[in-house]
Chains A and B, each alone.
Chain A
Amino acid sequence: AQSVAQPEDQVNVAEGNPLTVKCTYSVSGNPYLFWYVQYPNRGLQFLLKYITGDNLVKGSYGFEAEFNKSQTSFHLKKPSALVSDSALYFCAVRDLNSGYSTLTFGKGTMLLVSP
C-alpha cells in the first residue's frame, strides 16, 4: 500500500528566509508525487507535481520540490518565504500500480511565516 509521511506538524520561518517542508513516501512501484496548499477556509490548490524526468520540479508561487528516489523524499522548498505563504501544505502520492487515479495524502504541515 502507498503512504506519505509529513514528519513536521508545523514549520516556522521568518519572512525572507528559505523554507523547506518535508515529505517522504512509500510505494511499491514508481511514484507520482504532488504538493497542494490549503489557505484558511478554502479548498486545496495544486502547487506542483513530479511525474518523471528532472528531479527538481518548479511550481506555482515560486515553490519548487526535489525528488530523491534513494531517500524516497519529495521536499517542498522556496528560496525566500513570504508572510502570504502561511498555509497548510499537503504532500500526496499516487502509486502507479494502484489502478485508478487515486491519491494518498499526508496529514499536512502548517507553515507559519513571521514578518
Chain B
Amino acid sequence: NAGVTQTPKFRVLKTGQSMTLLCAQDMNHEYMYWYRQDPGMGLRLIHYSVGEGTTAKGEVPDGYNVSRLKKQNFLLGLESAAPSQTSVYFCASSRAGEFHEQYFGPGTRLTVT
C-alpha cells in the first residue's frame, strides 16, 4: 500500500495564481484532512471531510476550498494565492470514529512570491 500520497511535492506560485493540491489514500479511510504547518505554529487544520461529498471548515479555512468527489481523493484549492499561504501542506486520513489515529502524507512545500 502506498498509504497517503500528495502531489506535487514542491510548488512556487506568484501572488494571485491558483493551484490545486491532490491527496490520495488507498486505505479506504472515511475521514480526510488538510493541514498547514508553519514554524512555531504546529499543525493547523484547514478543512476536513468525513465522507465522499462532504466537507467542513477547520481552524484556518480562509483562502482555501476543498472537494471530496471520490472517497480516496481530497483536493485542496487556492483560488488566488497570497504570500501568507507560503507553508508546508499535509494531507491525512483516518478510519471513521473518535479514536483512530491519522495517517499523514509526505507534504507539499508551497512558496508564494
Contact = CB atoms under 8 A, between A and B. Distances in A.
A100 B106 contact: no
A46 B101 contact: yes
Would you call the interface of chain A mostly helix, strand, loop, or mixed? loop
Contacts of B101: 34, 46, 49
Contacts, number: 60
Interface in B79-94: 90, 92, 94
A84 interface: no
A107 B56 contact: no
Interface residues of B, number: 29
A100 B56 contact: yes
B99 A51 contact: yes
B100 A101 contact: yes
Contacts of B31: 100-101
Interface string A73-112: 0000000000000000010001010001111011110000
Interface residues of A, number: 23
Given A36-B104, A43-B106, A44-B90, 4 more contacts: A32-B98, A101-B98, A102-B45, A106-B42
Interface of B: 4, 31, 33, 35, 40-45, 48, 50, 56, 58, 90, 92, 94, 96-107
